[in-house]
Structure 1
Amino acid sequence: MIPLVETSRIAIPKLGLGTWRMTGAEGQAAVESALALGYRHVDTAARYENEDAVGAALAASGLPRDQIFLTSKVWWDSLAPDALRRSLEESLARLATPYLDLFLVHWPAPGMDLPGIVAALHAARDAGLIRRWGVSNFNPGLMRQLEQLGAEPACLQVEYHALLSQRTLLDWCRPRGIALTAYSPLARGKVAEHAVLGEIGARHGAAPLQVALAWLLRQEGVVAIPKAARRQSQQANLDAVRLAAKLTPEDVAAIDGLPKDQRQVQPDFAPDWNG
């Protein structure tokens, strides 16, 4: 059983399936595999160009819609209110679902109309098209701007793993009941070769990747969405849920002490992360 992050704003499974670059029949098969194993949280985006495959997998699973937590996102070039609503409706059509459990602004855009975005998200929620909304790749300054508008995002999705600190954003999110979802939680595979993680894994009969994921999953308010196309990898990630409870204080301190400055995702349109 995958535990939930439960706050005043959201209840979301702590482990989900990331689907970036999982497209077509292979992508559909991967999502079907994860759902069969017990995953109930799937993360996609308009930009991933796989919402049709994800939707087909959800339908093929035979699971009731209300048993699956489904997230999608709007790309940064579609943040004008009308464009945002259009992008959402197109995502819903491709996913063949009447609503999303969570809808995120995928990346901020320079000069974006943040009040207009929030109003469009609230209108979509009031219309029943989304249950909750949030943002992805927002820096501390943008999170403060949202609060100054009186907005209450349910989730912030950012790159977060054992080699990259997100302490400032975690300290912001936790007291407000905002879940922090870690994308690239395995640092695009970089943690697999890390000696400290390997040593901890050896003591627990686990792989370094599982140790890194377990370190995230044990944290208050943190969700992780590793991409995993192979059934073996999906199961290994599921096994990290149990490992999270087995990490010792010494294990956690050793991982906490690793350098935390190895960002993997830095497109040219990214915001100033410290802004």
Structure 2
Amino acid sequence: MRHEVTRRVLAGMTALIATTLLSTTLHAQSAPEQTSGSAEPATQSQQPVAPKRTVQFARRIPVSYDNKWEAYGGMSFMNGQAGQNLPKRFNMGGLEGQATYWLTDRIGPVVDFRVEYGTTPVFPNPYQINRPVVRQMIGMGGVQYRGWKNQRFAIQYHGLVGVSAGKYDGGTRGGLNTPTNTPSANAVAVGLYSNRVKPIGAFGGSLDINGSYRWAIRLQPDLIVEHYGTEYRQFFSISTGLVWRFGHRQ
């Protein structure tokens, strides 16, 4: 009886030991897989990924203003007076083109060309002339100075002088009953200037809103000083358009 009990105890202990060894072996084999599987997410979580927008901004070329050339083109508005004694001013719309050669990131010579069209009131007359179309073609040169600037904005100041060719008889042609019946005489008869080329200047500045290293949107107001009549007169002009920067200044 005693031997039977001893035998059963030994058999039970043997089974328990075998079960323990088997469980330990299986756990040891599966532990590296669990560790390697759990380490990968931990590694990924330790490497924060920058937001997509931040990465794209970092890849943009900074606006360094080291370009040699700058071209500007846009639409313009300008008012004026089409005759020495006309009581009312008139408005013109047109185009403006401008080119600057930057000697430094601050200063450079500039050339400017504008063409403006508009209709003007005239004196009451028996010639059936009412609000004729007039035109000014303006060419100027001067200096441009860049003031405050950063990655998003830049402010420039400029002074330009040149000439303006005014054509005032475009709406006065035809068989009218003026003494000489010429377009120029017809224009003068209703209070307009005769066609002429006179001095003109533009003094103002511009605000550039940078879109990239190469291009920007520009808003450019000007004080216009002209001498079509017997004295200098002041008017207002404003234009808006695109700036394109190119070339590299050494």
Give the TM-score normalised by the residue count of structure 2: 0.20
Structure having the higher Rg? 2
When you count strand as a share of all residues, which structure comes out higher? 2
